Structure 1
Amino acid sequence: MSRLSLHRLLLAGSLAMLAATAIAAPRTVTDPQAPRALQAEGPVSVQWNDPRTFTELRNSPNRFEAERGDWVQQLAKQFRSAATKTLQPGQTLDITMVDIKRAGDFEPWHGPRANDIRILRDIYPPRIQFEYTLKGGDGQVLDQGEATLRDSGFLHGGTGRQGDSDPLRYEKKLIDDWVRRDLAKQIAAN
């Protein structure tokens, strides 16, 4: 193998590794390439405002950790999953997540080792604000409005699932409770 061929082979291998690393790198919720809505699928559509405007990021003492991962998309999927099971045939639900504050917060004043640890305390309850439009099978608006979900007793009420270690369990419980309590009531009334 000639020196030029070896050089080209090494260059191609390096470029392939860089591309694989870029794909595998954890994305953030503020990534400009990150979607701002779930793909259209079924009767529930979910979109969200720019996560940079969310309280979770604006007020976080550790913005880097707060924006890591795909937690906005996971909460959107929870809305879709929970609401789809509740809707009557032909009904649709459009949701726009306006603001999110996840349960817990970072307390960097405990030292450098605590900087990346989300601390759960009663003073850091989860909160989700969203707008919604519920439509009947004929396209008529049955209900619409804005809702703010908050659970200041989130540490005392349990998540409903024994041993749940999902980092979004408290936020998902807010969504499940709203669907079961409020959305189901609106569907039953129409």
Structure 2
Amino acid sequence: MALIVAISIPAHAMAGVIVRFIDPDRFTDAGTNGFRSADPGTLAEIKAYLQRLGGRFLAPGQNLTIDILDIDLAGAYEPWRGGGLGDVRITRDITPPRFKLRYVLTEKGRRTRSGEETLSDMNYQMNGRFGSDRFVYEKALLDDWFRRMFPRDRS
């Protein structure tokens, strides 16, 4: 039944987010265990999260295309630590999350806003966001960007 409803809604009335990762193997740090190449699971989770944010913040008829140009996840691997911590991301104040992105917002097929930004939060460890989510700091950074850029939260 839900599928029938979704199909009957005109495409221009639905809000959506298209996420593209531009040359992800050259990203600063989107891998796991300190490997330079981007982890497909990491990219998939970030993409899905951005799409969920679009559902919350974009108005019907708005579409957002985001090109992710670089990712630097919060923290860093310190394999020299030993004691089984070589595959644990250690967060420090000098290793904040960072995204470099380019975006285009369209409404009813017309470009209404576009730009290129580098998002980062040097105070990410003090923002009171904790949890078991492995991307808690990155998601908080993306939440803040959506709130600032598209201040229409429908949740």
Give the TM bin, normalised by the shorter chain: 0.7 to 0.9
Q: Secondary structure at 1:70's aligned position in 2?
A: helix
Q: Does 1:155 align with 2:128?
A: no
Residue equivalent to 2:4: none
1:50 to 8, 23, 26: 23
1:184 deviates by 2.4
Distance 1:168 1:146, change over 3 A: same
Bigger Rg, which one: 1
Q: Secondary structure at 1:135's aligned position in 2?
A: strand
Distance 1:112 1:157, change over 3 A: same
Q: Secondary structure at 2:122's aligned position in 1?
A: coil
Residue equivalent to 1:105: 76
The answer to whether the 8 A contact 1:46-1:76 is kept is: yes
Unaligned runs of 5+ in 2: 1-13
Percent identical across equivalent pairs? 35
More helix by share: 1
Q: Secondary structure at 1:93's aligned position in 2?
A: strand
Q: Secondary structure at 2:141's aligned position in 1?
A: helix
More strand by share: 2
CA-atom RMSD in angstroms: 2.4
Q: Deviations over 1:50-83 (max 9, x none)?
A: 321100059x98217x755601111111111112
Residue equivalent to 2:135: 168
TM-score (structure 1 length as normaliser): 0.66
Aligned-partner Cα distance in 2 for 1:135–1:84? 15
Aligned-partner Cα distance in 1 for 2:121–2:33? 22
Runs of 4+ in 1 over 4 A off after TM superposition: 66-69
How many residues matched? 139
Residue equivalent to 2:8: none
Distance 1:47 1:110, change over 3 A: same
Q: Secondary structure at 1:167's aligned position in 2?
A: coil
Q: Does 1:63 align with 2:35?
A: yes
The answer to whether the 8 A contact 2:30-2:43 is kept is: no
2:67 to 83, 96, 114: 96
The answer to whether the 8 A contact 1:61-1:107 is kept is: no
Unaligned runs of 5+ in 1: 1-40, 186-190
Q: Which has the higher contact order (CA 8 A, sep 6+)?
A: 2
Mean CA deviation greater in 148-157 or 107-116: 107-116
TM-score (structure 2 length as normaliser): 0.79
Aligned-partner Cα distance in 2 for 1:57–1:140? 33
1:178-189 equivalences in 2 (<5 Å): 178-184=145-151
Mean CA deviation greater in 114-123 or 103-112: 103-112
